[in-house]
Amino acid sequence: MSKHEKTEQFTLTRRKLISRFGALSGILLAGCDTQFYKPPINRGGLIGIADTLTMASQRMLMSNQQLVQEHDVSEITKHFPVWNQSDPEDEEYQRLKAGNYVEWRLPITGLVNNPIYLFLLKT
């Protein structure tokens, strides 16, 4: 093996540096075994490794920041909008409900060629 061939073996290109840095950082982050760096659910295989690396890097980069905005109990609304789980006190809604929604119409308007109103049919 010539001297020139030996230097080619140890030449570090930008592509090699990036790929080796990625692998090295993954190994280093996966080695963090304190409770702070472990994800709450550890799945197996490649997905589990990706979960661990993602959680560890997020916690390392954002360790001084809170992850979500926290609110007081007094700041949480009591009138949270829900679908199909409540009976609103709205006068129009109560009128439509009393009439079995016969008068309810769904307007199809805006950027359409033929604006129409759809209604419920009794079957």
Each domain of the chain, given as residue ranges in start order, spans 11-61, 87-123
pLDDT digits (tens, 9 = 90+) for 98-107: 998 888 999 9
pTM for this predicted structure:
0.32
Amino acid, single-letter form, for residue 18: I
Maximum average pLDDT range among 42-46, 73-77, 112-116:
112-116
pLDDT in tens, 23-56: 666 656 655 555 555 545 667 788 888 888 888 8
Residue found by looking up tokens 């949270």 in the block: 80
Cα–Cα distance between 56 and 32 in angstroms, integer? 8
- Which region among 10-24, 38-52, 65-79, 103-117 has the lowest average model confidence (pLDDT)? 10-24
CA dihedral 82, 86, 92, 98 (to 10 degrees): 150
DSSP string covering the chain, please? --HHHHHHHT---HHHHHHHHHHHHHHHHHT--SGGGS-SS--SHHHHHHHHHHHHHHHHHTTTS-SS----GGGS-S----SSS-----HHHHHHHHTTTTT-EEEE-SS-SS-EEEE----
Mean pLDDT of 70-74: 82
- The CA–CA distances, whole Å, from 42 to 45, 60, 63, 67 equal 10, 18, 20, 20
